[in-house]
Amino acid sequence: MKAYRLTEFGKPLEVSNGPTPSPHGTEVLLKVSAAGICHSDIHIWEGGYNIGHGKTYNVGERGGVALPVTMGHETAGVALQAGPEAGPVALGRQYLVFPWIGCGECAVCLAGDEHYCGKPRSLGIYRDGGYAEYMLVPHSRYLLDLDGLDPVTTAPYACSGLTAYSALKKAGDVIRNERIVIIGAGGVGLMGLTLLRALDGIGAVVVDVSEEKRQAALAAGAMAAVDGRASDAVKQIARAIGSRPRFVVDFVGSEDTAALAFDAVAKGGKMVIVGLFGGAAPWSLPMIPLKAVTIQGSYVGNLAELRELMELVRRQRVTPIPITRAPLDHADQMLGSLREGKVVGRVVLTP
């Protein structure tokens, strides 16, 4: 089978033509229908995160990612073959793959939070993912029946959708009573806007430094769009909200956006950092207690949240974000376009 694999950090993906794997034990073999290219794939490809103070978090040595690996953690596909202990799976049906898999045995995994497991087995990061014609999933419990939903528009829910959903849930009831702020109108930010509406949210003011992305946010239903680089961005945000926001979600995660989120958020409010752009915390320590701000991180989401999300998508007929379809052979080229910031919405490979 054909797969586009990361064999060396920072180098073009290499095509491989190895044998199609057979499912053993609890495994299920899928024929990939759709594989979204996610921004976090760029960090994996680069091999590191900028953690500020001139340091880099090494994805290989420190993160434990072993190469070669086939990236792609936003995957939908048809179940072809199941191992003898795979559990219930309907061969021939389209499934969405939950990729944030842990060891399955520790207390964290047993509590349902496999995405926090200390021994991660995430598909497309630690195990081979969807930039391929076929893919193995460790167990049928990680498969969500698409039941008629389009695999191409649904695949991104496994990461960007789940990430946006889990971040918005951390706002609690605030989203239903007040306007919130979404920083970053890339794939996840636009998904956040869409899901906010599905969750009966009042609405959001979107911040982005790109005019094109601000326009995309307005087209996707943002109440206002603010240029984060404007010297009066905090004032513009407060004016658009009617007061200071009580919830700000930062889908960029740079020093600039974290500083803006902190300055903009109301006393007693909450900011959630999701994006992995990088840098060091830019806040003054005494201002954290003086503003009584909650600063929370959010990393993808758990299996139960992905099930809730798919139920919401189905019930509310959530509008998909703009999708560019590309053949599997364009995997490396499309990863490059995303890296250069040329992609609005999401690129999905369709092997």
Bridge partners (DSSP) listed for residue 48:
58
Residue in 26, 33, 40, 154 binding Zn ion, rule: CB under 5 A: 40
**Minimum distance from residue 230 beta carbon to Zn ion (Å):** 29
**Minimum distance from residue 263 beta carbon to Zn ion (Å):** 28
Distance CA 15, CA 204 (A): 42
Burial 117-140 (b: 16+ CB within 10 A, else e): beebbbbbbbbbbbbbbbbbbbbb
Asked whether position 348 contacts Zn ion by CB under 5 A, the answer is no
The letter for the amino acid at 45 is W
DSSP 314-348: HHHTPPPPPEEEE-GGGHHHHHHHHHTT--SSEEE
Where does this chain touch Zn ion (CB under 5 A) — which range of 38-46, 47-55, 63-71, 251-259? Answer: 38-46
DSSP 55-69: EEEETTTTT-PPSSB
Q: How far is CA 326 from the centre of its chain?
A: 19
Distance CA 300, CA 314 (A): 20
Would you state the structure tokens that stand for residue 199, as one six-digit string? 């969750």
Residue in 159, 171, 174, 344 binding Zn ion, rule: CB under 5 A: 159
Asked whether position 188 contacts Zn ion by CB under 5 A, the answer is no
Residue in 38, 65, 233, 343 binding Zn ion, rule: CB under 5 A: 38
Closer to Zn ion by CB, 283 or 299: give it.
Answer: 299
Q: Which of 152, 110, 115 is closest to 40 using CA atoms?
A: 115
Asked whether position 109 contacts Zn ion by CB under 5 A, the answer is yes
The contact mask relative to Zn ion for 89-108 (x = CB under 5 A, - = no) is -------------xx--x--
Where does this chain touch Zn ion (CB under 5 A) — which range of 16-24, 117-125, 169-177, 304-312? Answer: 117-125
Where does this chain touch Zn ion (CB under 5 A) — which range of 23-31, 39-47, 236-244, 317-325? Answer: 39-47
**Minimum distance from residue 179 beta carbon to Zn ion (Å):** 27
**Minimum distance from residue 295 beta carbon to Zn ion (Å):** 22
Summarize as ranges the residues that interact with Zn ion (CB under 5 A).
38, 40, 102-103, 106, 109, 117, 159
